[in-house]
Structure 1
Amino acid sequence: MKRIKFGLIFILVSLSLLWWQADPLLLQGDRFFAIRKLVVNYTGVLAMGVMSFAMVLALRPVILEPLLGGLDKGYRLHKWLGISGLVLGITHWLWGKGPKWAVGWGWLERPQRGPRPEQTVEIFRFFQEQRGLAETIGEWAFYAFVVAAAIALTKRFPYRRFFQIHRVLAVVYLALVAHSVILLPFSYWGTAVGVVMGVLMAAGSYAAVKSLRGQIGRSHRAAAEIETLVRHPGNQVLEVGLRLKSPWRGHDAGQFAFVTFDRREGPHPFTISSAWKGDGRLVFMIKALGDYTKTLPETLSVGSPVEVEGPYGRFDFSGDQAHQIWVAGGIGITPFIARLQGLAGEPSHPPVDLFYSTSAPDENFIASIRELAERARVRLHVLAADRDGRLDADGICRHVPDWQAAGLWFCGPAGFGQALRRGFSAKGLAGERFHQELFEMR
């Protein structure tokens, strides 16, 4: 989470400094309307800057995964950039519209302004002629952005709608680029902020077009078909085995992929729960958590075509600690299953304690994990929530006396992870030793 916060703050501060260099808070004329002009320009630059970064992250750039700590962290940054863009956009709109309303209501007096200076540069003269059109485009695009962003942030809408809304946001972003290019103060274009904004909006526009054409992640896609389907009714998990029909560059335990079972539904992210053996086979364990995943046991069938995109993620179990502690909550067991399969083939490895906490224990499912753990020489602790209560830092430390020399890897519900992180932080475990896969991608 520190990388996400740092990334957001770095982007906002950098854009602020670049803007300040181009428009160093010089107030001229009526003080209030001079402040209004500065705020409108400043919030416009920040809003388009963060939205452009968000659009680029939507491309799922693998090259940025080491910097961000994985695509799951990149998507969380994407979300907070979008929220920041929404807040900044509303602020920009209020400062643009509010004073005009106040003048109309007689609360403020409109300042005297002369004609705009004649532009000698042809492109700037054209932009000046299109100001009215650009303001109209920007206003309606803003209204569409607010509605679409609100829907995207409301988790009660199904994932399919979330996916479709992001296509709408790509169109809205392109409209806002047109608005911004025309209305960005002409003096900015000759400064660093103008160059940076030009690059960001060009990159964001490229990403938006890729999104609209359905080309995000295209170079990482592979065709497959369903080979096996195994139901675990006790914990409502469906185990889906795929046979790849096109090249796959392999994956590491802990990575995930976007899987498309139905093109109308779009891709869903699932952790790969099998180690890569070079045999062209992948396994996903999918829990019935939402409206769509609950339908999969009835809608999927052996032989059906599937598209897989990936692999992504940096939940890679790396580290030089003398001991590793793995904690899985519910379906968060999936990356650890893949790692268990990999460790079973290794002659030696540091000691590992795996804690599997579940509210719906399935005996057959647990038996398969227990067998894998024995083969991998990993000490397994299975805790049923109804019987054993909620697992916490104290409980883990009782089972692992040398926990202070260990690295902890967690995958499961966000609230569970936050509670464990707080508990271990209070005990003095360094934050960089707590590794967490972000369970939710929305």
Structure 2
Amino acid sequence: MKNIKLSLLALFVGLSLLWLLADDMLSVPYALFPLRASLINYTGVLAMGAMSVGMLLAIRPRRIEPFLGGLDKSYRLHKWLGISALVLSIVHWLWAQGVKWLVGWGWLEKPARKAAAATAEPSPIADFLRSQRGLAEDLGEWAFYASVVLIVLALLKHFPYRWFFKTHRLLAIVYLVLVFHSVVLMKTAYWSSPIGPLMALLMLAGSVAAGISLLRRVGHSRRVVGNIETLELHPDNRVLGVGIQLQGSWAGHQAGQFAFVTFDPAEGPHPFTISSAWHDDGRLRFHIKGIGDYTASLPQTLKVGDPVTVEGPYGRFDFGGTQPRQIWVAGGIGITPFIARLQALAQQPDQRPVDLFYSTAEPDQEFIQRLNALAERAQVKLHVLVSGRDGRLNAERLCQQVPEWRDASMWFCGPAGFGQALRQDLVARGLAVADFHQELFDMR
């Protein structure tokens, strides 16, 4: 999360400083309308910068993932860039339209427009851009309205994923319209200062990313087709085990990574953690919790032999580090990355002692028995807590169960609130922030 905050700070501070170098706001006497013009340009630069980086992250670039700590963190940055762009674009629109309203109501008087300064050499490019200003303003306004609706829909947790998947791609079209709006209306002086080439580079990268999204080529090189080989339902905790036999070449994965799985092209890909270690046999396994309408319907809709597309692997939840022991904490279906790691340890043991805490509100005895047997083979100490019977796991109980917790790295996968409470309490007790590793449970 630290790198997410640093990335946001670096982007907005960097753009702000370069904008100040290009704009004359600080060098002219204060007046409302020149200030308005400067702030319209400033909020436009920041909004387009945020949208451009967000568009680039949407295509899941490999090289950015290690810096941010995994694709789940990349998508969290993507989300905050979207929120930032939404707020900035609203402020941009209010400065553009609000003052016009005040003039129309007679509350402000618009100063007379100054005659344009003559240029030594006419520029065909500048003349063309000036001729497009009216169109750019109109298209930009409608694109703003569309972006507000689409971003708000994306932030609504109860908006169905199927429709989120379809509507969110429309933002690529909106973005391309806003690129045209920005290129035409950006202050001419900006193009001859560092902010101009930087914005051009950001918008070019964002436009390429938008094209990749619209052509449905996101993650294309990482896609492998296969078929469902096995289905196993654990009814007590509403978890479906899905075994897949891949037909193409899979690059292999590390325990703890996830993949985007498409069972139904109309629904689109969903991210699921891989719950099997890699045996170089083309087989993958997933454990899918019936949480929403779609995942709850999978036991009825999936059949052995159905075609599947798998894209990945992604993620940096890799159980690395130099600490002499590890503590794993799984909340509900967050057990899946630990199952994969248990399988890997059963094949290739690690000398470090490991404690696995599995907290569940819906225990399935057969599932727990298998988990216990797997933990024994992996030489991992399993602690099962049923929340209705044993209460919720907290830092105090964890530290009592593992007195050597200060020498351990913590690996958590589960509901965000559970992880945040556990992390804060452990850090307050002396655990280093860098020693608490968390897979973000929700990437929307």
TM-score normalised per structure 1: 0.99
Aligned to 2:101: 101
CA distance in 1, matches of 2:204, 2:273: 33
Aligned to 2:146: 144
CA deviation map 1:60-105 (0-9, x unaligned): 0111111000000000000000000000000000001111111111
CA distance in 1, matches of 2:238, 2:396: 29
Residues 275 and 287 in structure 2, CA contact (< 8 A), matched pair in contact too:
yes
Structure 2 residue identity aligned to 1:308: V
CA deviation map 1:15-39 (0-9, x unaligned): 1111111115335476111111111
Whether 1:242 and 2:209 are equivalent positions in the alignment is no
- Cα distance, 1:5 vs. partner? 1.2
Aligned to 1:333: 335
Which SS does the other structure have where 1:115 is aligned? coil
Compare 15-24 and 379-388 and name the one that shifted more: 15-24
CA deviation map 1:283-306 (0-9, x unaligned): 000000101001100000000000
Aligned to 2:127: 125
CA distance in 1, matches of 2:226, 2:24: 57
CA distance in 1, matches of 2:63, 2:223: 16
Residues 259 and 267 in structure 1, CA contact (< 8 A), matched pair in contact too:
yes
Which SS does the other structure have where 1:114 is aligned? coil
Aligned to 2:40: 40
Compare 293-302 and 119-128 and name the one that shifted more: 119-128
CA deviation map 1:123-182 (0-9, x unaligned): 111001110110001000000001111111111111111111211111100110010010
* Counterparts in 2 of 1:33 and 1:370: CA distance versus 1, 3 Å: same
CA distance in 2, matches of 1:14, 1:29: 25
Aligned to 2:175: 173
CA distance in 2, matches of 1:65, 1:327: 24
Aligned to 2:325: 323
Whether 1:9 and 2:9 are equivalent positions in the alignment is yes
CA distance in 1, matches of 2:142, 2:27: 30
Structure 2 residue identity aligned to 1:339: R
- Cα distance, 1:58 vs. partner? 0.2
Residues 30 and 111 in structure 1, CA contact (< 8 A), matched pair in contact too:
no
- Cα distance, 1:365 vs. partner? 0.4
Aligned to 1:61: 61
Aligned CA RMSD, in angstroms, stands at: 1.0
CA distance in 2, matches of 1:347, 1:142: 55
Aligned to 1:25: 25
- Cα distance, 1:10 vs. partner? 1.2
Which SS does the other structure have where 2:318 is aligned? coil
Structure 1 residue identity aligned to 2:338: F
The correspondence for 1:210, drawn from 205, 209, 212, is: 212
- Cα distance, 1:118 vs. partner? 5.1
Structure 1 residue identity aligned to 2:153: I
CA distance in 1, matches of 2:199, 2:351: 49
Aligned to 1:201: 203
- Cα distance, 1:115 vs. partner? 3.1
Residues 27 and 34 in structure 1, CA contact (< 8 A), matched pair in contact too:
no
Aligned to 2:282: 280
Structure 1 residue identity aligned to 2:110: R
CA distance in 1, matches of 2:116, 2:12: 31
Aligned to 1:388: 390
The correspondence for 2:360, drawn from 358, 372, 385, is: 358
Q: Any gaps of 5 or more consecutive residues in structure 2?
A: none
Which SS does the other structure have where 1:377 is aligned? coil
CA distance in 2, matches of 1:299, 1:115: 69
- Cα distance, 1:253 vs. partner? 0.3
Aligned to 1:153: 155
The correspondence for 2:233, drawn from 231, 234, 252, is: 231
Residues 285 and 334 in structure 1, CA contact (< 8 A), matched pair in contact too:
yes
Aligned to 2:191: 189
CA distance in 1, matches of 2:293, 2:279: 33
Which SS does the other structure have where 1:401 is aligned? coil
Which SS does the other structure have where 1:410 is aligned? strand
The correspondence for 1:440, drawn from 434, 439, 442, is: 442
CA distance in 1, matches of 2:30, 2:84: 30
Aligned to 2:112: 112
Which SS does the other structure have where 2:358 is aligned? strand
TM-score normalised per structure 2: 0.98
* Counterparts in 2 of 1:264 and 1:118: CA distance versus 1, 3 Å: farther
CA deviation map 1:171-219 (0-9, x unaligned): 1001100100100111111111100100100110111111111110000
- Cα distance, 1:348 vs. partner? 3.5
CA distance in 1, matches of 2:245, 2:37: 59
The correspondence for 1:414, drawn from 410, 413, 416, is: 416
- Cα distance, 1:404 vs. partner? 0.5
* Counterparts in 2 of 1:326 and 1:30: CA distance versus 1, 3 Å: closer
The correspondence for 1:270, drawn from 262, 272, 275, is: 272
CA distance in 2, matches of 1:233, 1:127: 63
CA deviation map 1:204-254 (0-9, x unaligned): 011111111111000000011000000000100000000000011000000
CA deviation map 1:301-344 (0-9, x unaligned): 00000000000000000000011000000000000000000001
Q: Any gaps of 5 or more consecutive residues in structure 1?
A: none
Residues 43 and 88 in structure 1, CA contact (< 8 A), matched pair in contact too:
yes
Aligned to 1:305: 307
Residues 56 and 204 in structure 1, CA contact (< 8 A), matched pair in contact too:
yes
Residues 25 and 34 in structure 2, CA contact (< 8 A), matched pair in contact too:
no
CA distance in 1, matches of 2:167, 2:382: 42
- Cα distance, 1:349 vs. partner? 2.3
Residues 172 and 214 in structure 2, CA contact (< 8 A), matched pair in contact too:
yes
Structure 2 residue identity aligned to 1:132: G
Which SS does the other structure have where 1:26 is aligned? helix
